[in-house]
Amino acid sequence: MAEELSDIEASADRTVAAAAGPDAYPPSDEPLLRIEGVVKSFGGFRAVDGVSLDIRAGEFFALLGPSGCGKTTLLRMLAGFEAPDAGRILLGGRDIAPTLPHERPINMMFQNYALFPHLSVRDNIAFGLKRMGMARADIAARVAEMVALVKLGGLEKRKPDQLSGGQRQRVALARSLARRPKVLLLDEPLAALDKKLRESTQGELLELQRRLGMTFIIVTHDQEEAMTMADRIGVMDAGRLDQVAAPRELYEAPRSRWIAEFVGDINLFDGELQSQDGHRLTIATRDAGALLVAAPDRALDKAKVSIAIRPEKVKLSRRGPASDAGQGSAINRLDGVVTDVCYLGGTTTYKVRLDAGGTVRSSMANTARIDIDAYGIDQHVVAWFTPDDCLVLEQ
Amino acid sequence: MRRIGRLSNFNVVSLALGLAFLYLPIIILVIYSFNASRLVTVWGGWSLRWYHEFFNDRAMIEAAWMSLRVAVCSASIATLLGTLAAVALSRGGRFAGRTLFSGMLYAPLVMPEVITGLSLLLLFVALNAERGFWTVTIAHTTLTMCFVAVVVQSRLGSLDRSLEEAAMDLGCDPVRAFLAVTLPLIAPAIAAGWMLAFTLSLDDLVIASFTTGPGSATLPIRIYSEVRLGVKPEINAICTLVIALIAVVIIVASLASKLSSTQGESAAPL
């Protein structure tokens, strides 16, 4: 078994070497894929509205956004099924606009897998190889390698309708990987799987990408999926790319109010800038009184701002933070009453109605099995958080 | 479920009456084709005499052969044209005149046969075409092409477009993608369309009688003219054979279209 695995590993390594060759990848400082000001309209509707993006070789990139934001259209333009109205798409420095889908070194895994129902698993995987004019023996070897890679051994002769959802997903993956594309596009690859299978497949996909060193671009509306797998995430809304960042940066430093709300859960307080004391701002909010926040790196254009704080950074206690003395003045303390308790297993989310009028959500890890500190409904609590955990966003 | 599955007495009676109304004449015809008597209405015991008679009736055999040739040729041409029309309608995007084209394609479905026959006759006369095998074949192609187009288009409509895109993504140009993926998947519908066209052509009396010429009568024309002189038991034998042929074709066609909709085992090697 171990031998078998290392065999696959070795052949996978050869895959990369063969695919890379002397001139397959551009120099490392140049991106593998460059998207420049791409626009695509359907009728009067701008599905993709001026997107520019660089993707490095070997990167796992996620396009994240709600349905209808244009992410699938962008992916289809990369695959060649749609032509951009304006802008350029460069692969390794070369414009691929005149290249038809079947001539692009890019393969796509379709959302519904699009397996050929009249062909067996083996013939599905071999389909793209036959078009490359490969020798029979080479095709058989490559198919066997792919079957082993996605762990489909023994199912080669089955038809797609004799497979489970997870198995079909693997066939689709193997089929799109078989031609060893420079870029693999994945359109919501895990949407049709149940939660458990989705999570284990996420891990496998990530491992596969690392091992093959291939560039993956995945489209998803599931922010957790994007966070788990991607090196960088591009958030799309209404045809525009709002922010491109690593998962941590996207979560901790979202560029806009919309992204802050779309990625994860967040408390928002609208207010006005009152005063600045060094790198501390005082903001008067309508719902939570005056709050102290860390000044953002760039200067604020407007006085009207929103303060955003993630629920897990809001702590609850009966009397406020214990180490009140040293930095007490620099901590935001909000008195309130617990109105809702939501036990989620690993964490518990509390909803607290503040005396100042607003509500704040707090998420606390359940670190002990018997929690004597759990709060009940109608209990008076102090919600507190540090200025550094707050984000200031322009409204 | 059980309640729906079980039929009430009323349902049984109405079903029996309906089936009897549809099939009793045919059953009687089949039974009387084995009649030994010269008279159509008098039972004279079992015999294969009239089948023997038919196979020795040169004119009748020639008419049957003519009908078969017309049916095969017109069904094949109609299948080719109908499939192309269906592909254009469901894959051609919104080209100019698409609605007009689809309306014109399906018009023969509802057009009275007399009108189709008469207009074709006028056309052939105007073109000074010699009427016979080819004029009937062309007329039947006109009649049956729309049926093929309907069958194939409904199959194409239910086919996932991303299958063709996947084929293109995997290195097929559009034509090869169609041949390697779409065609094998719609093949059962095309086969069903062919068989439908075949039976329609074999059945047709009206259009054929308008467009045929002297000395090239199809089987229905021949039977009809015989019957006008009085029904011979031989006609029963011929009709039984035609019924058997059509039944086989219809059963194969419905099996094919069932296979097509489950899109399972229609294995077509590349």
Task: Supply the range of the domain harboring residue A285.
Answer: 279-394
* A292 occurs within a structural domain: yes
Residues B24 and B66 in one domain: no
Residues B167 and B227 in one domain: yes
Q: Do A127 and B176 touch (CB under 8 A)?
A: no
What CATH number should be reported for the domain holding residue A89? 3.40.50.300
Residues A336 and A385 in one domain: yes
* A272 occurs within a structural domain: no
* A259 occurs within a structural domain: no
* A99 occurs within a structural domain: yes
Residues of B in contact with A176 (CB under 8 A): 169-170
Report which of residues A300 and A140 the model is more confident about. A140
Residues B32 and B83 in one domain: no
Residues A225 and A130 in one domain: yes
**Per-residue confidence (pLDDT) for residue A28, from 0 to 100:** 56
Q: How far is CA A354 from the centre of its chain?
A: 33
Min Cα distance B236 → chain A (Å) is 44
Residues B38 and B163 in one domain: no
Residues of A in contact with B155 (CB under 8 A): none
* A262 occurs within a structural domain: no
Residues A77 and A168 in one domain: yes
Task: Supply the range of the domain harboring residue B93.
Answer: 57-260
* B240 occurs within a structural domain: yes
Residues B39 and B71 in one domain: no
Residues B33 and B127 in one domain: no
Residues of B in contact with A101 (CB under 8 A): 165, 168-169
Using a CB–CB cutoff of 8 Å, tell me whether B179 touches chain A.
no
Interface test with B, best of A131, A139, A171 (most B CBs within 10 A): A131
ipTM of the complex: 0.76
Residues 98-127 of B with CB under 8 A from A: none
Residues B27 and B73 in one domain: no
Contact B193, B151 (CB under 8 A): yes
Residues A22 and A139 in one domain: yes
One digit per residue, pLDDT tens: chain B, 270 residues? 445 567 788 889 999 999 999 999 889 888 888 888 887 778 888 888 888 888 888 888 899 999 999 999 999 999 999 999 999 888 877 777 888 888 888 888 888 999 999 999 999 999 998 888 999 999 999 999 999 999 999 999 888 889 999 999 998 998 999 999 999 999 989 998 999 999 999 989 999 999 998 888 899 999 898 888 887 888 888 889 988 988 898 888 788 777 765 554 333 333
User: Which residue in chain A has the smallest CA separation from B164?
Assistant: A114
Q: What does the block give as tokens for B97?
A: 């005149």
Residues A77 and A159 in one domain: yes
- Give me the total of CB pairs closer than 8 Å, taking one residue from chain A and one from chain B: 73
Interface test with B, best of A118, A146, A168 (most B CBs within 10 A): A118
Arithmetic mean of pLDDT, A236-263: 91
State how far the Cα of A19 lies from the Cα of A214, in Å rounded to an integer: 9
**Predicted TM-score (pTM) of this structure:** 0.77
**Per-residue confidence (pLDDT) for residue B261, from 0 to 100:** 59
Residue A49 pairs in a beta bridge with: A39
Min Cα distance B103 → chain A (Å) is 25
Q: Do A110 and B173 touch (CB under 8 A)?
A: no
State how far the Cα of A148 lies from the Cα of A306, in Å rounded to an integer: 52
Residues of A in contact with B180 (CB under 8 A): 127
